[in-house]
Structure formats: structure tokens, C-alpha cells
Amino acid sequence: MTNPTAAMLVIGDEILSGRTRDSNMHHLAQRLTAHGIDMTEMRVVRDERAAITDAVTALSAAHTHVFTSGGIGPTHDDITADCVAAAFGKAIDVRDDARAVLQAHYDAKGIEMNESRLRMARIPEGATLIDNPVSAAPGFTLGNVHVMAGVPRIFEAMVDGLLARLEGGTPPVSRNLTIRRGEGDVAGPLRTLAGENPALSFGSYPFADDRGGAVNVVVRGAEPKAVDAAIAHLAEVFPDAEL
């Protein structure tokens, strides 16, 4: 059986403007890979209703899971929950269980539960809450879309809890070989090997260090023996390669 697939939708004008550097994509990709869920697509959209709703609809239809980050806070431009509800044709309102979580959190801190904070308890009909052990305001899962905060520390904590209830597949095996040649020297043999091994993924990543230019070749796949055989073949073609 093939692994489940995933897409990530990052929401926020601050990402597109360059004001904020996103780390959630990198974190999620690493965690999903280790869990046996194949990340196959990432998108970034602005805080605009049609853009978010259209992206959620398209990604949900194309992937086993969709993970979103951003746009579920207390401010006027936090519209992700509404857009996900619209994509699924669901009503959205303050829900008692989400409100209770927030109320307990703010009561413990002596903070007023005002109208803006209450917006974070608005959950689409039929959604399941995603726990937020950092700042309490929950995310949610609706259909195959998992809606989480954009703040990295909160996002990462939500992912930890969410993955525990998602079925994964087979984490890929990855092997690396450093070849002290130019990428143009490596490209031909690598192309041939990739054509002979369609079940494997081959990546070529040039770099330079104090020893000069080189290429890191990464081979990934579900079968360790096949990956090892491909690396061994490259090592024969390039005897000076470094494992």
C-alpha cells in the first residue's frame, strides 16, 4: 500500500510580504516524513477569504490530509476557521467545549474572556478539536483538514498531539553520498540510475566548502536494500565518493 499523502496550506500576509520567515513548513515536512505520510504539496495564500476557501477545497480533494497554519487567532484578519467551514458547507459558531477550554485558561491567569478572545472558540459544525497545550485556544479537524495556529511553538505542540491519532505509512529510508565532482559530471550517471529505479527518489544538491565544489546525492525509498544498492552503484561509478 502507498503512504497517505499530505498538503500544507500556510495562511498569512506576513509570510508573503517577507515580514515573517515561516518555519512550520520545514517542521511539518520532517514530522510527516518520519510518520510515513508523504508531503507532496505546499501553498502560501494571503488573508483573503476566496483564496483560502478555494485552496482548502482543492487541496482537500487531492490529498489524504491537509494541514493549515495561521489565521485562527483573535484579530479581524483571523478568518481561517470561517473559510474552512465555508469550504465544507458547515455552520460555525462559538462551541461550548472550546469555550470551556479557553475560559479555564484565562480564569487561571486572571485574564478577562472578552469578545476578541471568544472568537477563538468558534468551531465549525462537526469538527474535532486539536489540543493546544501552549496557549489553550484549540485548533480543529474538519473532514481531512487539520487547522492549526501559525505561531511555531504552538503549531509544533499541536502537530505532536495530532499525529498521535493519524495513521501513517512506511517512513522512507534515506542515504547520502558526497561526490567531489561538478554536478554536470554527476548528472548523466544519476539520470540513468533514476530511470532504472522508478521506485526510488534521487536528489542532487551541489555545494561548496573549503575543499571546493561537490555534490550531495540523496537516495530515498521504501526498501532499504534498493536504496543501499543504488548508493553502492554510485560509489562504484565515482570511487572517490564519500559515504
Do 138 and 206 belong to one domain?
A: no
97: domain CATH number is: 3.40.980.10
Last residue of a domain, one of 163, 190, 220: 163
Do 12 and 119 belong to one domain?
A: yes
Do 192 and 138 belong to one domain?
A: no
* Residue 243 included in any domain: no
* Residue 242 included in any domain: no
Do 75 and 189 belong to one domain?
A: no
DSSP class per residue in the chain: -PPPEEEEEEE-HHHHTTSS---HHHHHHHHHHHHT-EEEEEEEE-S-HHHHHHHHHHHHHHSSEEEEES--SSSTT--HHHHHHHHHT--EEE-HHHHHHHHHHHHHHT----HHHHGGGEEETT-EEE--TTT---EEEETTEEEE-SSHHHHHHHHHHHHTTS----PPEEEEEEE-S-HHHHHHHHHHHHHH-TTSEEEEEEEEETTEEEEEEEEEES-HHHHHHHHHHHHHHSTT-B-
d(CA 72, CA 120): 7
Residues of the chain with pLDDT under 70: 1
* Residue 143 included in any domain: yes
Last residue of a domain, one of 106, 133, 163: 163
* Residue 168 included in any domain: no
What tens digit of pLDDT does each residue of 45-67 get? 999 999 999 999 999 999 999 99
Do 26 and 132 belong to one domain?
A: yes
Q: Give the angle 87-91-92 at the CA atoms, nearest 5°.
A: 100
Do 111 and 136 belong to one domain?
A: yes
pLDDT for residue 1: 61
Last residue of a domain, one of 132, 163, 194: 163
CA–CA distances in Å: residue 157 to residues 24, 31, 132? 11, 12, 7
* Residue 15 included in any domain: yes
178: domain CATH number is: 3.30.70
- The total of structural domains in the chain comes to 2
Do 12 and 51 belong to one domain?
A: yes
pLDDT for residue 243: 87
Do 155 and 226 belong to one domain?
A: no
**Domain of 178, in residue numbers:** 173-237
Do 131 and 225 belong to one domain?
A: no
